Amino acid sequence: MPPEFDAEAHARATAAAIGLPVDPRHLPGVVQNLRLASRMAAMVEAMPLTPADEAAPVFVAGREPPR
């Protein structure tokens, strides 16, 4: 089992890596949103896929869909 996601450490490290200053007053909201995104991603990853599950076709604006 992977280690628990540390949203605060991730926020701090990512901000530092890209040179983004994060106001300490904003950090709790950033962390809350990262935790929510992590929970949503876990739900998507937990969905079992079968060989019948295929990726959607590529949408190209202005092109008629195949029939």
Question: Residue 53 domain-assigned?
Answer: no
DSSP 2: P
- Report the percent of the chain where pLDDT is more than 70: 94
- Report the percent of the chain where pLDDT is more than 90: 66
Question: Residue 55 domain-assigned?
Answer: no
Alpha-carbon span 11 to 27, nearest angstrom: 8
Residues sharing a CB contact under 8 Å with residue 57, sequence separation 6 or more, in sequence order = 65, 66
Question: Residue 34 domain-assigned?
Answer: yes
Domain that holds residue 41: 7-46
Report pLDDT digits (tens) over 56-67: 778 788 877 767
The one-letter code for the residue type at 23 is D
Question: Residue 25 domain-assigned?
Answer: yes
**C-beta separation of 31 from 7 below 8 A:** yes
Question: Residue 52 domain-assigned?
Answer: no
Alpha-carbon span 42 to 36, nearest angstrom: 10
| Total domain count, the chain | 1
Question: Residue 27 domain-assigned?
Answer: yes
